Amino acid sequence: MNHEEIRQLISQDYDGEATEKEQALIAEHVKDCAACRVYQKSLNKLSTILESWDDETQVPDSMEKAAQDAITAPVPRRKEEPQMKPKNRLFAYGLRGGVLVTLLVAVMVVIQGEQNLKRLNTIQQDGSSVQYEPYPENSGRQYSAGRMEVAGPSAQLSQTSSVQHLAKAVKQETSFKFVASPDKPIRASGGFKAMSFDRTEWDKAPRAQALVEIMPYPVTGHNTEEYSRIEEKPFVAALDESLSTFSIDVDTASYANVRRMLNAGQLPARDVVRTEELINYFDYDYPQPQGEDPFSITIRAAAAPWNPDHGLAMIGLQGKTLDSENLPPSNLVFLIDVSGSMSSADKLPLLKQGFKMMVNQLGADERVAIVTYAGSAGTVLESTPGDHKAEILAALDRLHSGGSTAGGAGIKEAYRIAKAHFIEGGNNRVILATDGDFNVGVSDTAQLTRIIEEKRKEGIFLSILGFGTGNYKDGRMEELSNKGNGNYYYIDTIKEARKVLVTELGSTLFTIAKDVKIQVEFNPAKVKAYRLIGYENRALAKQDFNDDTKDAGELGAGHTVTALYEIIPAGSGEEVPGVDELKYQIAQMVNSPELMTVKLRYKEPDGDVSKLLTRAVTADKVTGQPSGDFAFAAAVAEFSLLLRHSEYKGQASYAQVIEAAKAAKGADKNGYRQEFIELVDKASMLDAQSGQGIQFK
């Protein structure tokens, strides 16, 4: 091994991540290499100081001196090293100097970052100052936000927060006191934006809320996240086109990604927001199927909350819940990205925690293999019974990040293993965990989708778990999961990992119906125009509904699916886009009391021929406001309209969303709906910002 590889192992050893074999390699190398021995001693000195550093609000002089000593220490040459030509000697000295300069820059950035933190986290008012402790989301973010509650001319706020500093996480109670008056706004220094308090609102509200936006430390590089463009569906005149056809979608990645951004104090760009994924993040209390079909169908209609002159129709599916003893056996391959881009705490470390929780749920009927890719693909664990937990967990513990990303090679290897251990009638699935940043090997999305489509036909499905920020490739992962008959999730927290991989494991892994398509025929005598809310990436041609060769979405055990249509009633004076009168056809309406007819097609998980289901809805159902789960789904849709700055948002408002969501929160045993309400509140405050600061609303 060369010097750079050994020094990387030395760094891993101080992080507690080196194996016994790697530790032996280090010991053997440093016996004969004085330069690497100096490097090891320098890290040892710094590590000792960091371990004894208790007060993270102060940077001790000894720490800075240790950094200086580490980088100025002489680098002796190995005695047995042969004399080199001047050109080679210059290269060797340059390489060593570059490594030492890198170490110097890293240590000084840490020290400067701590000093900047103390400077940025001070709010000044009339010569006085208070310290503001950033939320944990600040670490590595471009910016983040914290909420301050203000009560009258003076206020006290106390909160518990976590601060990530170097390799430590310190929890402490932090208090804030603001002495201000309405006519003397608090001004923020350093990285803070200005805040202003409106006198009228100050006088009216016993408690009001303001937002502070700060620059965290360290500031990461430029953002290269990618999202596919989403063009909202317009209203369609029912007399011109009465059929609307789409594939179901049970992905939830967009909601978790929106949550990540809002918690970091950032309003998401409109293409981040896929409305159907926000709506389908939540479970709805639809009845369990009673007949032979694997799901029930619920259809409701009411007035649209953001436009009382429009109607809102809801179509809900409830997948059959399977008992654990009735679950089919599973053949799983974890395909894990361990490239250099996966090194941050919200990527590979979080990924490993999530998979460990999942492994603890598996039994003897499940099999697990682990394939990794970074520069090239490799098998870390051959297919192993799920009850051999120690062996599987140990393989996960051995994973480390480094190198470029050979995603295509990894996918091929994972499918090879899945095929070798294929279970007839079972759940054969590759679970890809990545930030989506493929850059080596077969990286073209078109080539990857062809591979995945081919394997889908062989009965091996693909699900994707997305991680991380900064270089996240959302559009690619959504497309690949769609082609692989699988689901797509974004994991931003350990709580989300538990939701996807433990709480909802059955719906995540076990498909009960595939190629599920919905086609709605609207009655022009009752509907002037309609608009499907969301599902832009799931639209199908009307002839695709009867074509069993066309791929569509999958429904997992216990999953719910919800779709909403906004409807302009017949007789409305509202103008809608239309076409000229046809020369060779005559449009003729049928006198019927029905509002619409909903048709569904689905296949059994291992079937090739679809089955048709039909339901009709009468026009007299469109009365009053939505209630219960319908009202909550409508509130989520309204929130999406606001986030997307939709031209169809009508009278939508954050206050209305919060009021409706609170009224329809229900039992909310996992707290997901309460979390949604809090996110709407954060979005409202972020949206209220102006160029000069933050106004009360």
| Type and span of the H or E element at 366 | strand 366-374
Which of 54, 85, 114 represents a domain boundary (last residue)? 114
The Cα–Cα gap between 601 and 550 comes to 11
Same-domain pairing of 613 and 539: yes
Split at pLDDT 50, 70, 90, the class of 479 is: confident
Sign of the alpha-carbon dihedral angle for 576, 580, 585, 587: positive
Q: Which residues contact 330 (CB under 8 A, 6 or more apart)?
A: 362, 365, 366, 367, 386, 423, 426, 427, 428, 429, 509, 510
d(CA 22, CA 40): 14
Residue 90 is predicted with a pLDDT of 46
**For residue 490, what pLDDT band results from cuts at 50, 70 and 90?**
very high
Are 349 and 474 in the same domain? yes
- 231 within some domain: no
Q: Where residue 406 sits, what CATH number does that domain have?
A: 3.40.50.410
Query: What is the amino acid identity at position 560?
Result: T
| SS3 readout for 74-86 | CCCCCCCCCCCCH
| Pair (98, 141) in one structural domain | no
What's the rounded mean pLDDT across residues 180-190?
34
Residue 681 inside a domain? The answer is: yes
Percentage of residues in the chain having pLDDT higher than 70? 70
Same domain flag for 242 and 204 = no
| Nearest one of 36, 15, 16 to 25, comparing CA atoms | 36
Of the candidates 678, 582, 629, the one whose C-alpha atom is nearest the C-alpha of residue 280 is: 629
Query: Which residue pairs, CB below 8 angstroms and at least 24 apart, start in 290-299?
Result: 293/602, 293/611, 293/613, 294/319, 294/320, 294/512, 294/513, 294/555, 294/602, 295/319, 295/320, 295/512, 295/513, 295/555, 295/602, 297/598, 297/600, 297/613, 297/615, 299/598, 299/615, 299/617
Omega of the bond leading into 136 within 30 degrees of 0 (cis): no
- Confidence category of residue 184, pLDDT binned at 50, 70, 90: very low
Q: Are residues 339 and 382 in the same domain?
A: yes
Confidence of residue 378 (pLDDT cuts 50, 70, 90): confident
20-34, 222-236, 269-283, 655-669: lowest mean pLDDT where? 20-34
State mean pLDDT over 459-481: 91
Domain holding 361, by residue range, is: 328-509
Residue 631 has pLDDT above 90, yes or no: yes
286 within a domain of the structure (yes/no): yes
| Most confident segment among 152-166, 563-577, 581-595 | 563-577
User: Using 50, 70 and 90 to split pLDDT, how confident is the model at 442?
Assistant: low
The span from the CA of 406 to the CA of 438, in Å, is 6
pLDDT at 222: 58
Evaluate if residue 244 carries a pLDDT over 60. yes
Do 516 and 504 belong together in one domain?
no
Residue (of 320, 246, 249) closest to 286 by Cα position: 320
Q: Name the DSSP class of 146.
A: E
The answer to whether residue 697 sits within a structural domain is no
Count CB neighbours of 550 within 10 A.
16
Q: What pLDDT, on the 0 to 100 scale, is given for residue 242?
A: 95
Q: Name which of 472, 219, 477 is nearest 346 in CA terms.
A: 472
For the residues 340-361, what does the mean pLDDT come to? Answer: 92
Same domain? 134 vs 179: yes
State both tokens at 503. Answer: 């709480």
CB 513 within 8 A of CB 523: no
Lowest mean pLDDT among 64-68, 353-357, 652-656: 64-68
For the stretch 595-622, pLDDT in tens is: 999 999 999 998 999 999 999 998 776 7
Q: What is the mean pLDDT of residues 366-386?
A: 88
Domain identity same for 353 and 433 = yes
Give the Cα separation of 612 and 632 in Å (integer): 29
Q: Do 289 and 341 lie in a common domain?
A: no
Total tally of structural domains belonging to the chain: 4
pLDDT at site 147 = 34
Q: What rounded mean pLDDT belongs to the chain?
A: 77
**What is 104-120 written as a DSSP string?**
HHHHHHHHHHHHHHHHH
Q: Which of 88-92, 370-374, 502-506 has the lowest mean pLDDT?
A: 88-92
C-alpha distances (whole Å) from 425 to each of 163, 329, 330, 454, 461 are: 49, 8, 9, 18, 13
Amino acid at the residue 411: I
> b/e map of 119-135 (b: 16 or more CB within 10 Å)?
ebbbbebeeeebebbbb
| 372 and 453 together in one domain | yes
Residue 345 CA to residue 320 CA, distance in Å, equals: 37
Measured CA to CA, the distance from residue 121 to residue 174 in angstroms comes to 12
Alpha-carbon span 146 to 161, nearest angstrom? 10
Domain contains 133: yes
Whether 278 and 190 map to the same domain: the answer is no
- The verdict on residue 228 lying in a domain is no
CATH number at residue 279: 2.60.40.1230
Residue 628 domain-assigned (yes or no)? yes
| pLDDT tens-digit series, residues 252-283 | 999 999 999 999 888 999 999 999 999 999 99
Q: Which of 221, 246, 270 is the last residue of a domain?
A: 221
224 three-class SS: coil
User: 192-207, pLDDT tens digit by residue?
Assistant: 233 333 434 434 433 3
When pLDDT is averaged across residues 377-383 and rounded to a whole number, the result is 88
Say whether pLDDT at 57 is over 70.
Answer: no
Task: Tell which residue, 654, 617, 650, 676, has the closest CA to residue 302.
Answer: 617
Based on its alpha-carbon atoms, the radius of gyration of the chain, rounded to whole angstroms, reads 29
Tens-digit pLDDT profile for residues 121-164:
333 333 333 333 333 333 333 322 333 333 333 333 333 222 22
Better-scored residue on pLDDT, 174 or 453:
453
| Separation CA 640–CA 662 (nearest Å) | 17
Task: Say which amino acid occupies 189.
Answer: S
89: pLDDT strictly greater than 60 = no
Does residue 226 sit within a domain? no
Work out the percent of the chain whose per-residue pLDDT is above 90. 49
301 shares a domain with 361 = no
Where among 456, 481, 509 does a domain terminate?
Answer: 509
Given a cut of 80, whether residue 187 has pLDDT beyond it is no
